[in-house]
Structure 1
Amino acid sequence: MSDQPLLEQKIPVGISACLTGQKVRYNGGHKQSRYCLNVLDDCFEYETFCPEVAIGLGIPRDPIRLVGMEGEHPQARGTTDPELDVTDDLLRVGRDFAERHRHLRGFILMKGSPSCGMERVKVYHPNGVPHHADQGVFVRALRECYPELPLEEEARMNDAVLRENFIARVFAYDDWKRSVEPDPSYHAVLQFHSRQKYLLMAHHYEGYRELGRYLAEAHDQPLDAVLKHYLSRFMEHMRHKATRKSHTNVLMHIMGYLKRDIDSECKQELLAAIEQYRQEHVHLVVPLTLLKHYVKRHGNDYIREQTYLDPHPYELGLRNYI
């Protein structure tokens, strides 16, 4: 990446402290992420946190693990000292963190951690045998108290689709924070939905239809209720992974705004690029670059303002791999 930041004002994002190179792990080590520090650092202003250190566990320390039966919330207990139970402490710092960090737009988590793991964290039977999997205790508190906050594990961002999904959610949530929350109104929500419409369609078509119907009747409801419901459902729908099929659908919808303004040769060129993408011969950046070219020349203000066309900085190259 260049030495110049991609954004005038970086987006505040939480991150497990060990991923930034802080030696806070149980063994006194770290899990520094080159991608987070060398690439996303141009966009994100990190706020580091280690819930295990926050509750007073030392460095180094005896490790903890999740213990419990399937169907119940697991407890965070000491590995060498099963009598050590820090579950309530981790829940407390998680709830406190969520309450004090409503300005964050996302959180990048450490895979497999009994506190910070987002999913597939080993849960042990009380007899010591690995039994099933669950989420970390700190993450459980985050999700309970701040469900709209985009979460992702650093290791899962090796998957190009998951990586683009998370970063798109962070930027969409940042749009809400900047454009709706400072001066909330029905109009502000409608404007947000208008420019996010095709991005939402790419992630979840039924969610796009649901929120469209909801907003058509929302003026009869209290504004606070509309804000809460819309944001909750929007961020939930955005968690769905966009697919080649859903991207193709959106590309065709946007192309529909250009049909009267581009000639037959250009139209066939664009259709061919979209079809190559659908058949997995090229990545999304190929038809999208061509489409953006024609939108810039022939599109109207409504279609030019769609965040789908540029949901995150082009320099990140996220759509070069999906």
Structure 2
Amino acid sequence: MQALRNSEKTRILAPTAGQLWEEGKDEKGRYAGGKWGGRYLRAPDIYFRVLQQAGDRLVRLGEVAEVRFGIKTGANDFFYLEVLPYRPVCPCCREVHPEALIKEEEAAYRERGEAPPEGALVAVRNEAGWEGYLEAGSLRPIIKSYREWADDPDRVPSPRLFVYAKGNHSDAYLRHGEETAIPLRTSVGARSPWWKLSPLTPPTAIVPAGVDREYLFLPNQKGFLIDKRLYGLFHVEPVVVRLMNTALFKLSLEVLVRTGLGGGLADFTVYEYKQGLLLNPKLLPDPDAEATDTQVAKILGLNDQERRELLLALEQLIRERVSRANT
């Protein structure tokens, strides 16, 4: 798309109704609405030059990956637990279970890439303060903080999610939930049964809902579950995740940023992630190799100056977003 007028103070673009329609379609071909306000008002000139030159060599993330919310429990104080470093008195049996796993012992299994025996008891406390024991088969590690996980993706996250697996103590915990009116909460009651969470399939890769100064997208190599504050990519090839870490994809997201959020945070929806643009993975000569900005620029026919402009434009938009929040 060429600018009808482009000066230091004014830029006039004339997208056709057909172009706006195409930009607003979802992966099923239905019109879902476009973010033209951000794209056409905030996007730098280099963005449009790249789009024009790239033609059909770009795809939306939603075309090559399924993007979904993490797990919404509706009652984190019941479903989220931590493994205790000691063995409390069991509220079910009224005794201490000396054979139960405590924090260090349970973690040793996880760090070896193993799950503890399903029937083994684990000493736990939920976010409401309840302490007791649950069968290991009812506990799964879950990521709540993207930043903490991204610092060390191999480290097992500390929260445990209650995913009911049959056992005397897990049965008793369900009764405790019913006695404390967990099923009566509107955020829980729509599920049948109320304690059954989904999706319990780990995503192939994880992306944050909020981005500060640095975009970083990583594969979920250890197969952890994720909290609703994170988004998961499913049915996606590893090369797609690598292409998401290039400047072109990041810039295509940055032009969609909604302003006015605390600390200059860029807060993205699932829909906005699906709209992100990246090089068609099929155009890479080696899908197992690293995907770099230089490689993407070469395939799109960009020269060194245009590649640098793309990087500078991304940095400028991020600076402006953060500085606006600090003024």
Greater percentage in strand: 2
Give yes or no for TM over 0.5.
Answer: no
Greater percentage in helix: 1
Which structure exhibits the higher relative contact order, with contacts defined as CA atoms closer than 8 Å and separated by 6 or more residues? 2
